[in-house]
Amino acid sequence: MRIIAGSAGRMAIKVPHDVARPTTDFVRQAMFSILGERIIDARMIDLFAGSGALGLEALSRGASSCVFVDQSHQAIKIIRQNLETTRLGGGRVIQSEVLSFLKKDQHRYDLIFADPPYAKHPLDTEHISKLFSTGLLLPRLEKDGLFYAEISKTTATPEHPDWTLIDRRHYGGSAILLFQASTPV
What pTM did the predictor assign?
Answer: 0.93
Are the C-beta atoms of 112 and 144 separated by less than 8 Å? no
Rounded Cα–Cα distance for residues 173 and 109 (Å):
28
Are the C-beta atoms of 82 and 13 separated by less than 8 Å? yes
Half-sphere exposure at residue 29, Cβ-oriented, CA atoms within 13 angstroms = 11
Question: What CATH number does the domain located at 25-181 have?
Answer: 3.40.50.150
**Could you read off the pLDDT of 13-44 as tens digits, one per residue?**
999 877 656 778 888 899 999 999 999 999 99
Rounded Cα–Cα distance for residues 167 and 89 (Å):
30
Write down the pLDDT at residue 65. 98
Write down the pLDDT at residue 76. 96
* Angle between helices 25-35 and 53-60 in degrees, nearest 10: 50
Rounded mean pLDDT of 127-133?
94
The residue that leads in pLDDT, 14 or 185, is: 14
163 strand-pairing partners: 181
Say yes or no to pLDDT of 162 above 90.
yes
What residue ranges do the domains of the chain occupy? Answer: 25-181
CA 60 to chain centre: 15
Burial class (CB in 10 A: 0-12, 13-18, 19+), 53: buried
Write down the pLDDT at residue 118. 76
Q: How far is CA 93 from CA 75, 126, 139, in A?
A: 10, 24, 21
Are the C-beta atoms of 102 and 34 separated by less than 8 Å? no
Nearest to 102 by CA among 71, 74, 145, 65: 71
| Mean pLDDT score across all residues of the chain | 92
Q: What are phi and psi of 108, to 5 degrees?
A: -120, 150
Average the pLDDT over each of 32-46, 59-73, 111-125 and give the range with the smallest value: 111-125
